[in-house]
């Protein structure tokens, strides 16, 4: 595709002067470019000249297989920053995974990255896409980077050729992605040899150094959206969303392992998106045009859509090794050992949203009638379902509770509480109350109900009790979506420890499990475990100083 003068001028204005561009190549072209040209480190202690991208036996008719730097098999959360410009320093929620970057240091780093690319006369792959499927507020996003794989990922994951977007050139964000650069912490003001820096003032996302995990291309601009959209009264959410046969939309928030993707993939409901959604005055809309799914331990019967998408052309398989004794060129994707964690447990797969068989047109839907806050309580003490009022919604939303299981991390010998505000704290650029207040206001305006749905344990904690069956969870969720648990339709009891409103009955579900204390043999042990978890909620609330942000305690 021929570049326009405006395109060259835009990138020259940033400082790219002696580089070569490959602009908006097709996925087939990017597939071949990645295999031919993407080079970098793929082994600890290895050279920076390793081939990064490979075909399978299917060639261009199958997926591209890509390997990241061994130090970047996931997001580099400790190396993610935003420039602390005076104009925005008071607006951003500074935390461990969004640290301040000194403006002077940043300007020096950016210039060194641009000089590096100019001096090596780099070939840069450019992909123009949008963040958000609604042209009324979609953010123009231009990826400019050294790896064709990343440009192909941007093509998979974001809307293209969206008509009717206003002020595209004035509102465009640009990612400069230079994995061949090496940061020097003492000189550049960062922590390590790589840094991911968001520059709100100049609409630039800088990826400098070995931060070549594909998710960086997505999550960095998602964080930008989380900053820009709430300023316009639009709620950006880390959640899945779908629509029922009666046009009843639902939003499902949840951290990893709580069932967000599984429960939203309902054959009776049409998918809006599985990870990132916007709630605006126009209703719900997907931020993306693709899916970025975990592959570890993928079961073809439980996740048939992902399993089938593995074979499709134009998709990207990340950090899955070839089966032992074979080369990638000798295998088809269905021969991969998806239990193989030898590179990382965070093996991933990027594929277009269209690979799903039941998707809403234009990835958009109506205002939601039901908000679901998912948790997987490994302590076994929260009720499987509870109905939340407005104050409770804000409290549990900013708490963002789930539990880590024993054995999942070194040193974790019993369940541990995990709190992530708004069910996605690392990506939330504003303080949690900004999103909580928007959620509460939109729920009130559109009369949406909210439930807390526990997909964790019952009859005891992890190792003693049993996980609540997926059948019961789906029965509870379906009843809530139908409105069967709305006020006036069932009787409720108030949980004495958590102060949660719990239905006494639900169609198709044994009423015994609705009160978690009933499922424990040792009632005193339940009371002690419940009180312990309540105290952890209270401590998190105090430690995060949520009261100072206008959130009211409810337990």
**CATH for 460:** 3.90.228.20
pLDDT above 90: residue 405: no
Q: How many other CB atoms are found less than 10 A from the CB of residue 148?
A: 27
Does residue 260 lie within any of the structural domains? yes
Instruction: Look up the CATH number of the domain holding residue 32.
Output: 3.40.449.10
Tokens of 537: 């909620």
For 120-134, the pLDDT digits (tens) are: 999 999 999 999 999
C-alpha span between 317 and 350 (Å, rounded): 7
pLDDT above 70: residue 270: yes
pLDDT above 80: residue 434: yes
Q: Of the ranges 87-91, 203-207, 237-241, 353-357, which one carries the lowest mean pLDDT score?
A: 353-357
Q: Check whether residue 90 and residue 156 sit in a common domain.
A: yes
- Note the pLDDT of residue 408: 42
Confidence of residue 407 (pLDDT cuts 50, 70, 90): very low
Does residue 19 lie within any of the structural domains? yes
Confidence of residue 410 (pLDDT cuts 50, 70, 90): very low
Confidence of residue 8 (pLDDT cuts 50, 70, 90): confident
Strand partners, 199: 204
Q: Within 13 Å, how many C-alpha atoms sit on residue 127's CB side? A: 28
Alpha carbon distances (Å) from 21 to 117, 213, 402 = 12, 22, 45
C-alpha span between 507 and 493 (Å, rounded): 17
Number of domain units in the chain:
2
Confidence of residue 138 (pLDDT cuts 50, 70, 90): very high
From 231, 259, 291, give the residue that closes a domain: 231
Which residues have C-beta within 8 Å of that of residue 294, sequence separation ≥ 6? 346, 347, 348, 349
* H or E element in which residue 9 lies: helix 5-14
Q: Check whether residue 146 and residue 36 sit in a common domain.
A: yes
- Neighbour-count burial for 499-516, b at 16+ CB within 10 Å, e otherwise: ebbbbeebeebeeebbeb
pLDDT above 50: residue 370: yes
C-alpha span between 53 and 19 (Å, rounded): 22
| DSSP helix/strand/coil, 6 | helix
pLDDT above 50: residue 409: no
pLDDT above 70: residue 491: yes
C-alpha span between 195 and 349 (Å, rounded): 24
- Note the pLDDT of residue 414: 66
Instruction: Return mean pLDDT, the chain.
Output: 93
Does residue 292 lie within any of the structural domains? no
- Neighbour-count burial for 193-204, b at 16+ CB within 10 Å, e otherwise: bbbbbbbbeebb
Average pLDDT in the 142-169 region? 96
Does residue 81 lie within any of the structural domains? yes
* Whether 229 contacts 278, CB under 8 Å: yes
What DSSP designation does 549 have?
Answer: G
Residue with tokens 């650069």: 181
What DSSP designation does 87 have?
Answer: T
Which residues have C-beta within 8 Å of that of residue 542, sequence separation ≥ 6? none
From 201, 231, 261, give the residue that closes a domain: 231
Q: Check whether residue 189 and residue 227 sit in a common domain.
A: yes
Q: Of the ranges 149-153, 255-259, 264-268, 412-416, which one carries the lowest mean pLDDT score?
A: 412-416
Tokens of 272: 């809006």
Q: Check whether residue 214 and residue 240 sit in a common domain.
A: no
C-alpha span between 404 and 402 (Å, rounded): 7
Q: Check whether residue 109 and residue 242 sit in a common domain.
A: no
Does residue 274 lie within any of the structural domains? yes
What DSSP designation does 304 have?
Answer: H
Measured distance between the N- and C-terminal CA atoms of the chain, rounded to whole angstroms? 60
| Residues labelled as active-site residues | 75, 219, 238, 256, 260-261, 275, 348
* Whether 454 contacts 382, CB under 8 Å: yes
Domain that holds residue 380: 235-280+367-549
C-alpha span between 71 and 42 (Å, rounded): 9
pLDDT above 60: residue 5: no
C-alpha span between 263 and 481 (Å, rounded): 12
Q: Check whether residue 476 and residue 430 sit in a common domain.
A: yes
Among candidates 347, 350, 397, which has minimal Cα distance to 372?
397
C-alpha span between 393 and 445 (Å, rounded): 15
Q: Of the ranges 34-43, 251-260, 378-387, 422-431, which one carries the lowest mean pLDDT score?
A: 251-260
Average pLDDT in the 392-413 region? 75
pLDDT above 70: residue 4: no
Confidence of residue 1 (pLDDT cuts 50, 70, 90): very low
Q: Check whether residue 544 and residue 488 sit in a common domain.
A: yes
Among candidates 225, 264, 440, which has minimal Cα distance to 365?
264
C-alpha span between 347 and 320 (Å, rounded): 6
The packing angle between helices 432-446 and 215-231, to 10°, is 60
Q: DSSP characters for 249-299? A: EEEEE--TTSSHHHHH--TTSEEEESSEEEEETTEEEES-SEEEEE-TT--
C-alpha span between 507 and 155 (Å, rounded): 44
Does residue 324 lie within any of the structural domains? no
Q: Check whether residue 219 and residue 271 sit in a common domain.
A: no
Tokens of 70: 């061994």
Q: Check whether residue 225 and residue 241 sit in a common domain.
A: no
Does residue 536 lie within any of the structural domains? yes
Does residue 337 lie within any of the structural domains? no
Q: Check whether residue 226 and residue 255 sit in a common domain.
A: no
Q: Check whether residue 37 and residue 167 sit in a common domain.
A: yes
Which residues have C-beta within 8 Å of that of residue 307, sequence separation ≥ 6? 298, 300, 334
Q: Check whether residue 227 and residue 239 sit in a common domain.
A: no
- Note the pLDDT of residue 413: 55
Average pLDDT in the 207-212 region? 97
From 194, 210, 231, give the residue that closes a domain: 231
């Amino acid at each position: 595709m021929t570049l326009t003068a405006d395109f060259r001028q835009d990138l020259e204005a940033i400082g790219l002067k002696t580089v070569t561009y490959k602009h908006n190549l097709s996925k087939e072209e990017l597939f071949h470019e990645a295999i031919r040209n993407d080079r970098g480190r793929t082994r600890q202690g290895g050279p920076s000249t390793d081939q990064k991208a490979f075909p399978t036996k299917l060639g261009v008719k199958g997926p591209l297989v890509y390997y990241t730097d061994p130090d970047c098999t996931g997001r580099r959360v400790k190396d993610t920053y935003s420039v602390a410009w005076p104009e925005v320093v008071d607006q951003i929620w500074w935390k461990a995974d969004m640290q301040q970057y000194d403006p002077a240091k940043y300007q020096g780093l950016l210039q060194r990255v641009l000089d590096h690319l100019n001096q090596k006369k780099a070939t840069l792959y450019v992909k123009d896409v949008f963040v958000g499927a609604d042209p009324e507020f979609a953010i123009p996003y231009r990826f400019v980077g050294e790896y064709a794989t990343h440009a192909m990922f941007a093509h998979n994951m974001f809307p293209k050729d969206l008509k009717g977007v206003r002020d595209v050139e004035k509102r465009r964000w640009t990612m400069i992605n230079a994995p061949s650069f090496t940061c020097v912490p003492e000189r550049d003001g960062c922590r390590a040899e790589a840094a991911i820096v968001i520059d709100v003032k100049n609409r630039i996302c800088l990826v400098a150094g070995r931060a070549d995990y594909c998710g960086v291309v997505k999550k960095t601009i998602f964080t930008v959206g989380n900053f820009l959209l709430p300023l316009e009264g639009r709620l950006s959410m880390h959640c899945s969303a779908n629509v029922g046969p009666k046009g009843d939309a639902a939003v499902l928030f949840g951290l990893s392992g709580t069932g967000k993707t599984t429960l939203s993939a309902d054959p009776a409901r049409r998918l809006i998106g599985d990870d990132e959604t916007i709630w605006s005055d126009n209703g719900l809309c997907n931020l993306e045009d693709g899916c970025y799914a975990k592959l570890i331990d993928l079961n073809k019967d439980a996740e048939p859509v992902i399993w089938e998408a593995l074979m499709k052309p134009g998709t990207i398989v990340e950090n899955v090794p070839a089966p032992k004794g074979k080369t990638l060129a000798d295998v088809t994707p269905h021969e991969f050992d998806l239990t193989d964690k030898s590179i990382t447990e965070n093996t991933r797969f990027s594929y277009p949203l269209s690979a799903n068989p039941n998707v809403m047109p234009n990835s958009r839907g109506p205002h939601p009638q039901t908000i679901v806050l998912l948790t997987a309580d490994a302590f076994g003490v929260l009720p499987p379902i509870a109905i939340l009022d407005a104050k409770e919604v804000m409290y549990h939303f900013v708490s963002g509770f789930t539990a880590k299981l024993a054995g999942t991390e070194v040193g974790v010998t019993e369940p541990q509480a995990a709190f992530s505000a708004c069910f996605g704290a690392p990506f939330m650029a504003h303080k949690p109350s900004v999103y909580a207040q928007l959620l509460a206001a939109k729920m009130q305006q559109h009369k949406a109900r909210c439930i807390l749905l526990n997909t964790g344990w019952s009859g005891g904690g992890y190792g003693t009790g049993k996980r609540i069956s997926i059948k019961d969870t789906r029965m509870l969720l379906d009843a809530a979506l139908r409105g069967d648990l709305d006020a006036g339709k069932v009787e409720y009891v108030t949980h004495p420890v958590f102060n949660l409103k719990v239905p006494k009955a639900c169609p198709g579900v044994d009423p015994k499990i609705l009160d978690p204390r009933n499922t424990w043999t040792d009632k005193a042990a339940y009371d002690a475990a419940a009180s312990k978890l309540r105290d952890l909620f209270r401590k998190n609330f105090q430690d995060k100083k949520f009261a100072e942000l206008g959130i009211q305690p409810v337990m």
